[in-house]
Amino acid sequence: MRLEVPIEIDDYLDWLNAQMLFPKIYWEDPRENMKVAAIGKALELDTFPILFTEKKIRFFGGQDFSSRKYRTWKRFPSKKYILPLIEIEERKGTSFLCINRLSKNLFIDLNFRENAYEILRPLSSLHSLSYSVWKTHITELLGLIAKKVLTKIVLGRCTHLAFAKMLNPYMVLKKLQGKSPNAILFAFQYEQNQAFIGASPEVLYKKEDRTIKSYAIAGTYPRGNNSKEDKRLSRALLKNRKEKNECNIVKKNIETTLSSLCKRICVEKQHILQTSTVQHIAYILKGFLKDHISDWNILTALHPTPATGGLPKNIAIREIQKREHFDRGWFAAPVGWVDPRSSSHAVAIRSALIERNQMHLFAGAGIVEGSTPSGEWEELERKISQYIVWE
C-alpha cells in the first residue's frame, strides 16, 4: 500500500540531513524534473528487483562494478535495492510525502537532529595509484593497444582525503547541487558513518514502457574561464581525432548492444555535454525494446560500456582489476531506480565514498591510441576538482 499527500518543504537535502532513520537515499535528475529524498525501508533486496505488479512501487539501489579484492568499501553492500519506507518526491513542481507499507500495522519512530554544514579542509591526500605507478601502467596499456590486444581501457584512480572532523555527505552534495545542471545527483547511505554520493553526467539507460535511451559520453576537455573560451574549447574537442575516436568506440559499442535488444534504434547528432569542470562529446541513442527484454537484460548487456570498462570487455576488466589497487565498488557501476513500468540507471562516475572523516574520490580516464600518462592524469585532476568545496 502507498499513501501520498502533498506537502510543503523548503529543501530536500536539509530534510534528509536531519533524519536519523537509515537507509537514506537521494536522487535528483534535472533533465527529467525528478527529485526524491527517501528514508527507511519497507522492503530490502540483495538482488535486482524483477517486478510483476501494476502497483506504484519504486526500488532504489545499485551494485558493484566488479568483484572486490580490497577493503576500500568495508561494510557498504555489494548489491542492494530498497523500497523506501518514506519518500519526499517532487512532481511537476509539487512535493508529496509518500509512505510505502507491506502490512496493515505500521509504526514509524522518527528522530531528528541538527547537522552542521561545516566546510572542512583536508589534512592530507594520497593517490592510489601514484603518478609514477600510473605512468608505468599507462605506458604498458598503450603497448597492448599498439599490439591490438586492447582497443580502449579505462583506468581508475582513488584519491584518499583525510579531515580533522566527521564529514557531512549532504553538505558536499549541496555544494555540488546546481554546479552541473546536466548531472544526476545521488546519495546512498545505509548506515550512519558511510555514504556514497555523486554527480554523474552519464546515463546508462532510461526506460519508459518499451522505449529506451542511453548516453554515449567520452572524450574530455576542460571548461573555459568564460563563455567565449568555453566555445573555443568545445570546437577544439570536436576536432580532436583522439577524443573523437574515444567517443566513437563507446557509441558503436552501445549501438551494437542496443541493436540486439531493440526492434529499432536511432542515434541523435553529437553534441557537447558540460559539467562544472569538464566537457565531453556525447550522443543519445534511442530504441524500441523487443517484447521479452527486461531491465535485468538491459543492465547486464550494457554494463560496463567502454566509457568505464574498455574493449574487448573481458580483457579490459582483467587489466583493470590487475592494475587498480582499490575496489571500484559502486564507482562507475549502475545506480538508479526501477518501477513496474519505467526505470533509470546512471553510471556512478564523478563520485565519492565518505567514511567518518575520510573522503575517497574516484575518477577514471579512457586510454586509447594517442593517450599520454600526463594528459590523462590532468584529466583525472579536472574530474575530481568539482569536489573541492572548501575554497
Does the pLDDT of residue 391 top 60, yes or no?
no
pLDDT for 84? 96
Q: What is the Cα–Cα distance from 182 to 187, expressed in whole angstroms?
A: 17
Range with the poorest average pLDDT among 111-125, 228-242, 317-331: 111-125
**β-strand 342-347 against 152-162: which pairing, if any?**
unpaired
pLDDT for 367? 97
Task: Look at residues 188, 216, 182 and name the one whose alpha carbon lies nearest to residue 81.
Answer: 188
CATH code, domain carrying 179: 3.60.120.10
Check if the beta carbon of residue 278 is closer than 8 Å to that of residue 221. Answer: yes
Does the pLDDT of residue 267 top 80, yes or no?
yes
Within-domain flag for 116 = no
pTM: 0.95
Within-domain flag for 115 = no
Domain with 77, as residue range(s), is: 2-109+122-387
Does the pLDDT of residue 211 top 90, yes or no?
yes
Q: Render pLDDT for 22-66 as a digit per residue (tens, 0 to 9).
A: 999 999 999 888 999 999 999 999 999 988 877 788 999 999 999
Task: Count the domains in the chain.
Answer: 1
**β-strand 203-208 against 211-222: which pairing, if any?**
antiparallel
> b or e along 129-139 (b: 16 or more beta carbons within 10 Å of the residue's beta carbon)?
beeeebbebbe
Rounded mean pLDDT, 194-214: 96
Rounded mean pLDDT, 344-365: 96
Question: Helices (DSSP H) in the chain: which residue ranges?
Answer: 12-18, 131-146, 169-176, 227-239, 241-261, 295-302, 313-323, 373-384
pLDDT for 242? 95
Does the pLDDT of residue 315 top 60, yes or no?
yes
Amino acid at 124: S
pLDDT for 102? 79
Q: Render pLDDT for 95-124 as a digit per residue (tens, 0 to 9).
A: 999 999 877 666 676 777 776 656 678 999
50 vs 309, residue with greater confidence: 309
Q: How many CB atoms lie within 10 A of CB 91?
A: 13
Q: What is the Cα–Cα distance from 272 to 238, expressed in whole angstroms?
A: 8
* CA distances (Å), origin 294, targets 48, 298, 313: 11, 6, 22
| C-alpha cell belonging to residue 262 | 531493440
Within-domain flag for 344 = yes
Rounded mean pLDDT, 65-72: 94
Q: What is the Cα–Cα distance from 127 to 140, expressed in whole angstroms?
A: 20
In this prediction, what percent of the chain has a pLDDT beyond 90? 85
Residues 305, 309, 313: CA angle, nearest 5 degrees: 80
Does the pLDDT of residue 253 top 60, yes or no?
yes
Within-domain flag for 349 = yes
DSSP designation for 112:
B
Does the pLDDT of residue 210 top 70, yes or no?
yes
pLDDT for 334? 98
| C-alpha cell belonging to residue 275 | 559539467
- When the pLDDT of each residue in the chain is averaged and rounded to a whole number, the result is 93
Within-domain flag for 117 = no
Rounded mean pLDDT, 255-283: 95
Q: What is the Cα–Cα distance from 149 to 359, expressed in whole angstroms?
A: 35
Q: Render pLDDT for 149-199 as a digit per residue (tens, 0 to 9).
A: 999 999 999 999 999 988 999 999 998 987 877 899 999 999 999 999 999
Within-domain flag for 21 = yes
How large is the angle between the packed helices 131-146 and 313-323, nearest 10 degrees?
Answer: 160
Task: Look at residues 72, 70, 77, 179 and name the one whose alpha carbon lies nearest to residue 60.
Answer: 77
Within-domain flag for 217 = yes
Q: What is the Cα–Cα distance from 58 to 343, expressed in whole angstroms?
A: 9
Within-domain flag for 114 = no
Spacing of C-alpha 335 from chain mean position = 6
